[in-house]
Amino acid sequence: MVENWQRRALALAGFSLALAAEHTNVILALNNSTLYLGIAGGAALGGVALQFAPINALGEIGAAFVMLALLTFLVSIRVHTQR
């Protein structure tokens, strides 16, 4: 079964390939690199969070980062539509 994050990664790869189909290898390599960078960054932030908070607080910390990402997304949409 394909997970939700995998569908998003595939959709982003497809969008990127539609922009520059002649550079397929580079685009797919960059897409995978950013995916793995995000996974590593999340793991690093979780490790740092565990230094300062108990393990049962990781859910709330993760939710705060999700809200920050949502806020960033909404601001970017607003800025993009104002152009």
Q: What is the pLDDT of residues 39-60, one digit of tens each?
A: 999 999 999 999 999 999 999 9
pLDDT given for residue 40 in this prediction: 96
The answer on 71 and 40 residing in a single domain is no
Query: CA angle at residue 75 from 20 to 78, to 5 degrees?
Result: 75
- Give whole-number Cα distances, 75 to 13, 15, 71, 80, in Å: 23, 21, 6, 8
Which amino acid is residue 4, in one-letter code? N
Q: Which mean pLDDT values do the consecutive 10-residue runs of the chain (83 residues) have?
A: 60 75 83 89 93 93 93 90 79
The answer on 64 and 47 residing in a single domain is no
Q: Which domain holds residue 42?
A: 1-52
The answer on 78 and 64 residing in a single domain is yes
The answer on 75 and 47 residing in a single domain is no
Task: Please tell me the total count of domains within the chain.
Answer: 2
The answer on 60 and 47 residing in a single domain is no
The answer on 39 and 17 residing in a single domain is yes
